[in-house]
Amino acid sequence: MSEVKAKVEKEAKVADPVAASIDPATQQMLRRAQELGIDTVFDRAVSLKPCNIGIQGICCKNCAMGPCRLPLPKSGIEGEDTRKGLCGATPNTIAARNFARMVAAGAAAHSDHGRSVAEVFLSVARKENKDYTIKDPEKLLAIAPHYGVATTVEVDGETRDRDFDEIALELAEVALGEWGKPEGQLLNLKRAPQPLYERWNKMGECPRNIDREIVDIMHRTHMGVDQDYKNIIKQCTRASLADGWGGSMIATDLQDVMFGTPYPLQSEANLGIMKEDHVNIIIHGHEPILSEMIVAAAQSKEMIDYAKTIGAKGIQLGGICCTGNEILQRHGVPPAGTFLQQELAIVTGACDAMVVDVQCVFQNLANVAKCFHTKLVTTHPMARMEQDNVIHIEFDEHHAMDDAKRIVKMAIDNFKNRGAEVMIPKQKATQIAGFSVESIKYHLGGSFRGDYFTLNDNIINGRIRGIAGVVGCNNARTRHNEAHIILVKELIKNDVIVLTTGCNGIACAMEGLLTPETAGVFCGPGLAEVCETVGIPPVLHLGSCVDNSRILLAATEVVKAGGLGKDIQDLPAAGAAPEWMSEKAISIGQYFVASGVYTLFGVSLPVTGAPVFQNYLFNELEKIYGGKWDLAVDPLEMAAKMIAHIDKKRKALGIDKARERVLMDMADRQKLETA
Ligand code: SF4
Ligand code: MSK
């Protein structure tokens, strides 16, 4: 090593593990990586600073006359904002175009996931696929009408059930048509409360088809096209609705039909789920098409017996990110960690294979894997890595089980190659996951009175103050999991029930917040009472990022159950992504805002360099959609803003007085408990 390089490395800044994460397992593995000289995202976040102009959303590189960077003057803007790019683009136009391109990328990612699911479903409906089946025929029959697919036929004046296979095939074809149909609008939009749908329709913002709205953004944000930030945001709405009420919703629907609708189950979370004496396979990414098969393969007697022949006690699967959430929800496979822990799962030295598909996968995994025996397997034709230690096994749903077994066998064969450097943190927490719109209905109402009445009753009487959707990623620019946990704890302490997805769900699970017992420890008295009575955690894990569509539908069920207004914007509810990082989060944020939800993001938002545009998002949109964007870096401030919004909505509904009566002191509560 040259002297200069050695000096540079010596001086290289590394992350302080305690400052980098609140999680002891993460801190331990980060220390270990540093001892071994392996850099991780936490270290890179120390040495690589974000661009101060990009972070404000005011760098345009949409043509080769730029990049044009329009920093805010240090003294602020007095009078007219005269900043402009070479073409004259204003900060508003530049920030709006950048924002729109994030929506397009996010909507594309979610929706392409949905498309893959729809394609597999079509092959199942055509009976061309032996490895996948329809596991939840009831869900298929329940969703068919939303896609305009009849479940009954009239024969000789008599109503009869339609042939199931025929329904499945028609549903598959209609669903797949949502990506490119030449006319009309997306079918699932009408699942929204009627006033909401009518508002979108009146404003001409109903998406026509999924692909078109994404292409439209790419065209409109090309140099010299749409130069009106308000008009650009209208298109953001169309594309984001094509995500939330389109591609993501179709993904969730059809995954439930094929793989089963989630119902609550017990599992664990954090790196401590890995086992030294087992073959450990970590599955990471987003699409459950492959991971469903890997679960089936790893649970097969053939593979378990094979693992035993090489000296392992069994096969331990673990998830990272949303593919992990998918197999958690349906099979109880424990997540090994959130987005920021992906490199650390390999640093344990016990990861025999990491299998990745699409989205949120660090390219640096390959460099970390090189330092250990870990086989890193890419599986998606769209997502390969340039490093030569990465194995690409292209997954084909037509021989899904064969591919899955090949991968599992590779991991088993690799078990013997582990070095002496195995170190698995002991931390893991128990969790109850697997909530869905259907299972919440069942839990709250029972099988006879399955509905959201109980939830509404408890919101109206004030035991539950309101509902929060807290979702989204980790971001290495903030302390891992800190904002997630502070925010969620503050909300439940104030009797706000939390619906979670994505990496927030994993973070909450790691912190032990996903158990009914948590309620007695962290919740306010009203929410604790409801959770204890019904037997649910105060934080309900609804799945992966595409499953944010479940939150939209749960909110719709609350509207339908009555007593809390006629639209999602009337509900005492708010949404947040306290540690977001992904373009998908911007698409999610926009479809929540356009669906009437006050939506707060943490970290930073790339709009702050364009104050007029920012004001439009943060204030003006509420007049149009009932929902609006906001930014709060401090999670306690975020919680305070969400709770204030919830209280504002309670007041508008005239149920604020009820809550005052329910706010009991401990003596009152004890009286109630012993009554
Ligand atoms: Fe600059 Fe305009 Fe080109 Fe953007 S489109 S890089 S603002 S000249
Ligand atoms: S995985 S998009 S880091 S939530 Fe869906 Fe987590 Fe965000 Fe990826």
User: Ligand 1 pocket test: which of 68, 218, 220 has the largest number of ligand atoms within 8 Å of its C-beta?
Assistant: 68
How many Cβ atoms are within 10 Å of 47's Cβ, its own excluded? 12
How far, in Å, from the CA of 67 to the mean position of ligand 1? 6
Q: Which atom of ligand 1 is nearest to the CA of 89?
A: 7
Angle at 233 between CA 232 and CA 239, to 5 degrees: 95
Q: What's the pTM value of the predicted model, to 2 decimals?
A: 0.95
Helix-strand-coil split of the chain, %, nearest 5 = 50, 10, 35
- Could you tell me the two tokens for 396? 């084909």
Which ligand ends up closest to the CA of 101? 1
Q: Ligand 1: distance of its center to the CA of 91 in Å? A: 11
Rounded to the nearest whole angstrom, what is the distance from the C-alpha of residue 582 to the centroid of ligand 2? Answer: 7
Sign of CA dihedral 206, 210, 216, 222: positive
CA atoms within 13 A on the CB side of 427: 19
Write down the H helix ranges in 243-313: 248-259, 288-298, 301-309
d(C-alpha 348, C-alpha 366), whole Å: 15
CA of 57 to the centre of ligand 1 (A): 13
Q: From the alpha carbon of 504, which atom of ligand 2 is closest?
A: 4
- Reduced to 3 states (helix: H, G, I; strand: E, B; else coil), residue 115 is helix
User: Tokens 């179709």, residue?
Assistant: 250
Instruction: For residue 359, give the ligand nearest its CA.
Output: 2
Place of tokens 């996010």: 106
Residue nearest to atom 8 of ligand 2 (CA): 360
Query: Ligand 2 pocket: which residues have CB below 6 Å?
Result: 286, 321-322, 339, 360, 472-473, 502-503, 544-545, 582, 584
Query: At residue 609, what are phi and psi to the nearest 5 degrees?
Result: -85, -5
Mutate to test the pocket of ligand 2, among 286, 473, 475 (most ligand atoms within 8 A of CB): 473
The residues that bridge with 480 in the sheet, in sequence order, are: 21
- The pLDDT value given to residue 452: 87
Sequence-separated (6 or more) residues with CB below 8 Å from residue 575: 468, 469, 470, 471, 551, 589, 592, 597, 598, 599, 600
Q: Which residues have a Cβ under 8 Å from the Cβ of 464 and sit 6 or more positions away? A: 455, 458, 495, 496, 497, 526, 527, 530
Ligand 1, atom 4: closest residue by C-alpha: 60
All residue ranges of the chain with pLDDT < 70 are 1-12, 445-450, 660-675
The atom number, within ligand 2, closest to the CA of 545 reads 5
What Rg value do the Cα atoms of the chain yield, rounded?
A: 25
- State residue 672's pLDDT score: 43
Pocket residue to mutate for ligand 1, from 63, 227, 232, most atoms within 8 A of Cβ: 63
* Alpha carbon distance 505, 484 (integer Å): 9
Looking from the CA of residue 84, the nearest atom of ligand 1 is 7
Predicted pLDDT at 666: 53
Residue ranges of domains in the chain, CATH in brackets? 91-259 (1.20.1270.30), 271-417 (3.40.50.2030), 432-653 (3.40.50.2030)
> What is the rounded CA–CA span in Å between residue 549 and residue 295?
24
Cis peptide, bond prior to residue 262, ω within 30 of zero:
no
Residue ID of nearest Cα to ligand 1 atom 6? 66
Cα dihedral sign, 503-504-510-515: negative
Residue nearest to ligand 2 atom 7, measured at CA: 473
Ligand nearest to the Cα of 83, by number: 1
User: Which among 53, 59, 62, 226 is the best mutation to test ligand 1's pocket, defined by most ligand atoms within 8 Å of the CB?
Assistant: 62
Q: Best mutation site among 53, 58, 65 for ligand 1, i.e. most ligand atoms within 8 A of its Cβ?
A: 65
Ligand 1 pocket list (CB less than 6 A): 60-63, 65-68, 85-87, 89, 94, 223
Q: For residue 574, give the nearest of 509, 505, 517, 494 by alpha carbon.
A: 494
Q: Which amino acid is at 376?
A: L
What separation in Å is there between the alpha carbon of 590 and the centre of ligand 1? 25
Cα 294 from Cα 352, distance rounded (Å): 14
How much is the pLDDT for 73? 85
* Ligand with the closest atom to the CA of 223: 1
Ligand 1 mean position, distance from CA 161 (Å): 59
The pLDDT, as a whole number, for residue 610 is: 97
The pLDDT of residue 36 is 95
Q: How many CA atoms lie within 13 A of 195 on its CB side?
A: 13
In 3D space, the residue among 388, 331, 380, 332 whose CA is nearest the CA of residue 356 turns out to be 380
pLDDT tens sequence across 455-468: 999 999 999 999 99
Q: Say which ligand is closest to the CA of 62.
A: 1
pLDDT of residue 6: 47
| CA–centroid distance, residue 588 to ligand 1 (Å) | 27
**Which ligand lies nearest the alpha carbon of 66?**
1
With CA atoms as reference, report the closest residue to 257 among 152, 164, 159, 395: 164
Which ligand is located closest to the Cα atom of residue 545? Answer: 2
- SS3 per residue for 379-390: CECCECCCCCCE
Residue 321 CA: which ligand 2 atom is closest?
Answer: 1
96 in Cβ contact with 58 (< 8 Å): no
